[in-house]
């Protein structure tokens, strides 16, 4: 039995042209020799992620999903660029190996990176894994510490000064995600208008300390050392990273975090083992970030509410593809229910529920 994250067989309709991919990789990456095998990492909900082995070399290929996509989403070149800039100074990023926009290979841009093997938490701990409460707490502390370290990198020094626009970042996010939700809404989900109006009216000023933000920083994008599972060895899925307000990044992370004592409907949305004994609750995680950063947070409710709303938009954009028959992935069928639950959660925050 292994607790290391492993790929599975490729889903129907998401197959790759094996010969075209193999020819591209062997042309672009020196030293590749031997037969090629391809599998798929089945747990992602956004970009499609494949495991490729050529000889004894393990790699990961990322490509956009099939079907309708938000205009600015799934930018493979952008993701490849940030990995190129970050990997030399922040080795938790996978090393990028090759990128192409040649649509003759698979009809879309894609890139390939080195694989970082290890444990990745999904809804529950891997079968057979025991995580003592003391280690669960230490892992939470390490997670917050690494998040803060990312936010304090000198993005200008590594060539990412034009990677985002910190000025007006919050306003653009509120307006942009509101527009995306309205564009992707289907008849069977709530309209979110009350929440969107509250976010628009309660925006904080621009951050005085902008930084590189991951925008999807959560357990199932962290790779853990199998020999020491409190050690984070990799951070995956940089497709939404930019330069912006670190507190927006933290709020988005907290939207995924379900406390052990959250109500039953919140427990239904749990996607990671955040309720394991020893895991820190959301408020404690935020307080730890505040302590490390020295940054004053007057009203974290806005950032947390925005995180819940943004998560609903992401779920709805994915559900849109399923609703309109653009994907056969049955995991997406229940996302409309999740969108409704997220609206209830966001309204609770607006009504003073807080973290």
pLDDT tens, position by position, 149-183:
999 999 999 999 999 999 999 999 999 999 999 99
**At residue 100, what are phi and psi to the nearest 5 degrees?**
-150, 150
Q: Any idea what DSSP says for residue 269?
A: T
Would you place residue 1 in the very low, low, confident or very high pLDDT band (cuts 50, 70, 90)? very low
Would you place residue 330 in the very low, low, confident or very high pLDDT band (cuts 50, 70, 90)? confident
pLDDT tens, position by position, 343-354:
999 999 999 988
Give the C-alpha separation, 91 to 185, whole Å: 38
Look at residue 256 and give its three-state secondary structure.
helix
Would you place residue 237 in the very low, low, confident or very high pLDDT band (cuts 50, 70, 90)? very high
pLDDT tens, position by position, 186-216:
999 999 999 999 999 999 999 999 999 999 9
Looking at residues 307-316, what average pLDDT do you find?
Answer: 96
pLDDT computed for residue 202 by the predictor: 97
Domains assigned to the chain: 18-114 (3.30.200.20), 133-350 (3.90.1200.10)
Q: What is the mean pLDDT of the chain?
A: 93
Nearby residues of 267 by Cβ (< 8 Å), 6 or more positions away: 258, 275
What are the start-end ranges of the H helices in 87-233? 103-106, 133-151, 169-184, 193-201
pTM over 0.85: yes
270 φψ region: left (φ > 0), alpha (ψ -120 to 50), beta (else): beta
pLDDT over 70 for what percent of the chain? 97
pLDDT computed for residue 70 by the predictor: 47
Give the C-alpha separation, 91 to 102, whole Å: 28
pLDDT tens, position by position, 49-89:
999 999 999 999 999 987 544 444 568 999 999 999 999 99
- CB neighbour class for 206 (10 Å; exposed up to 12, middle 13-18, buried from 19): middle
pLDDT tens, position by position, 288-311:
999 999 988 888 999 999 999 999
Give the C-alpha separation, 312 to 318, whole Å: 10
Angle between helices 133-151 and 282-293 (to 10 degrees): 50
pLDDT computed for residue 97 by the predictor: 97
pLDDT tens, position by position, 115-157:
999 999 999 999 999 999 999 999 999 999 999 999 999 999 9
């Amino acid at each position: 039995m292994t607790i290391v994250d492993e790929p599975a067989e490729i889903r129907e309709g998401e197959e790759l042209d094996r010969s075209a991919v193999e020819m591209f990789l062997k042309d672009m990456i020196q030293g590749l020799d031997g037969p090629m095998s391809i599998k798929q990492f089945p747990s992602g909900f956004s970009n499609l992620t494949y495991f490729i082995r050529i000889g004894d070399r393990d790699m990961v290929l990322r490509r956009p999903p099939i079907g309708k996509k938000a205009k600015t989403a799934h930018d493979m070149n952008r993701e490849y660029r940030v990995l190129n800039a970050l990997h030399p100074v922040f080795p938790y990023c996978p090393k990028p190996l090759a990128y192409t926009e040649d649509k003759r290979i698979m009809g879309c841009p894609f890139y390939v990176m080195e694989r970082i093997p290890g444990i990745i938490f999904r809804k529950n701990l891997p079968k057979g894994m025991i995580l003592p409460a003391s280690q669960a707490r230490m892992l939470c502390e390490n997670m917050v510490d690494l998040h803060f370290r990312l936010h304090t990198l000198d993005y200008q020094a590594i060539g990412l000064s034009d990677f985002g626009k910190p000025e007006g970042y919050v306003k653009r996010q509120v307006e942009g995600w509101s527009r995306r939700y309205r564009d992707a809404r289907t008849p069977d989900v709530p309209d979110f208008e009350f929440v969107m109006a509250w976010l628009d009216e309660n925006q904080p000023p621009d951050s005085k300390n902008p930084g590189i933000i991951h925008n999807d920083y959560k357990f199932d994008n962290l790779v853990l050392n199998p020999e020491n599972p409190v050690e984070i060895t990799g951070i995956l899925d940089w497709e939404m990273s930019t330069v912006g307000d670190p507190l927006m990044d933290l709020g988005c992370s907290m939207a995924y975090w379900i406390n052990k004592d959250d109500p039953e409907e919140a427990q239904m949305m749990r996607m990671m083992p955040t309720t394991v004994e020893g895991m820190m609750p959301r408020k404690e995680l935020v307080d730890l970030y505040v302590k490390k950063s020295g940054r004053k947070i007057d009203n974290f409710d806005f950032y947390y509410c925005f995180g819940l709303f943004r998560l609903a938009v992401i779920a709805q954009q994915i559900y849109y593809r399923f609703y309109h028959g653009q994907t056969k992935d049955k995991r997406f069928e229940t996302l409309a229910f999740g969108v409704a639950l997220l609206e209830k959660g966001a309204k609770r925050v607006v009504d003073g529920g807080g973290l």
